[in-house]
């Protein structure tokens, strides 16, 4: 009887954690997507519409991803994941653009394309909190181990070029710090898988080739 209860708990815990992660992320992302959409309606800046697209993509992939039985239970990993996801959303329109909107928009569009490519390569393995949903080595994962985060960086550079304020710089620098911690947390979880260890030998760079 005790064994049956333990097995039931083992089944329910991943499901409960998955629902918690989806609900939390979708709630925050929806709120900020609506905020950027309102700002776009007021200003007509295409940059803001691209930001809405970026957030909606995350929500969409969260809703269809598969449940993992190997999710980190570390409160620190959860806090890092949430902070890395939420902090960039506090960036707001403002300041005088440093470059033409066509260039900042190109950065954002490139970042979004990289994100879509990475998410399509992950398929239903996308998540916010460190977990093992299968090792992916195809597409952009041939070049760096975390191409999706690289896409985020490129998108954020584009937004910052169009909205260069101290507030936004602090938001993105803080977010980048948590994203690095998030990458390390994910690798601790994934490194329990022998297939991932082999993959790290083949693809040595996590985020930017020759840098990190």
Tell me how far the alpha carbon of residue 67 is from its chain's centroid: 17
Left, alpha or beta for 101 (phi > 0: left; psi -120 to 50: alpha)?
alpha
Q: Are 85 and 28 in contact (CB under 8 A)?
A: yes
Give dist(CA 58, CA 90) in Å, integer: 16
What is the rounded average pLDDT for all residues in the chain?
Answer: 84
Positive or negative torsion for Cα 135, 21, 32, 91: negative
Average pLDDT over residues 163-186: 95
What distance in Å separates the CA atoms of residue 194 and residue 37, rounded to the nearest whole number? 44
Global confidence as pTM: 0.80
Question: Rg of the chain's alpha carbons, rounded to an integer?
Answer: 18
The per-residue pLDDT for range 3-38, each reduced to its tens digit, is: 433 333 445 776 777 777 777 777 877 777 788 788
DSSP category for residue 210: T
In DSSP notation, 53-109 reads HHHHHHHHHHHHPPP-S-B---HHHHHHHHHHHHGGGG----S--SS-HHHHHHHHH
| Domain boundaries, given as residue ranges, for the chain | 2-202
CA–CA gap between residue 126 and residue 146 (Å, rounded): 12
The closest of 13, 24, 148 to 71, measured between CA atoms, is 13
Q: Taking 80 as the threshold, does the pLDDT of residue 101 lie above it? A: yes
Confirm if 188 and 196 have CB atoms less than 8 A apart: no
- Identify which of 14, 162, 210, 175 has the alpha carbon closest to the alpha carbon of residue 80: 175
2-202 is classed CATH 2.40.420.20: no
pLDDT at residue 162 greater than cutoff 90: yes
- 112 class by beta-carbon count within 10 Å (0-12 exposed, 13-18 middle, 19+ buried): buried
Residue 155's Cβ-count burial label (10 Å; 0-12, 13-18, 19+) is buried
For 125-157, write each residue's pLDDT tens digit: 777 788 888 888 899 999 999 999 999 999 999
């Amino acid at each position: 009887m005790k064994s049956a209860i333990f097995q039931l708990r083992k089944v329910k815990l991943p499901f409960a954690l998955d629902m918690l992660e989806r609900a939390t992320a979708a709630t925050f992302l929806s709120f900020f997507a609506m905020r950027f959409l309102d700002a776009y309606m007021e200003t007509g800046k295409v940059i803001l519409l691209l930001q809405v697209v970026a957030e909606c993509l995350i929500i969409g992939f969260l809703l269809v991803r598969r449940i993992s039985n190997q999710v980190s239970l570390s409160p620190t990993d959860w806090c890092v994941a949430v902070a890395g996801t939420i902090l960039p959303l506090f960036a707001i329109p403002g300041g005088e653009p440093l470059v033409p909107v066509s260039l900042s928009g190109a950065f954002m569009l490139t970042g979004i394309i990289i994100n879509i490519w990475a998410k399509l390569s992950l398929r239903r393995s996308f998540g916010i909190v460190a977990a093992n949903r299968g090792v992916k080595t195809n597409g952009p994962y041939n070049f760096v181990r975390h191409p999706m985060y690289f896409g985020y960086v490129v998108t954020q550079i584009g937004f910052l070029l169009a909205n260069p304020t101290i507030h936004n710089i602090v938001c993105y620098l803080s977010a980048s710090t948590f994203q690095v911690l998030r990458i390390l947390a994910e690798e601790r979880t994934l490194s329990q898988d022998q297939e991932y260890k082999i993959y790290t030998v083949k693809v040595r760079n996590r985020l930017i080739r020759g840098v990190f």
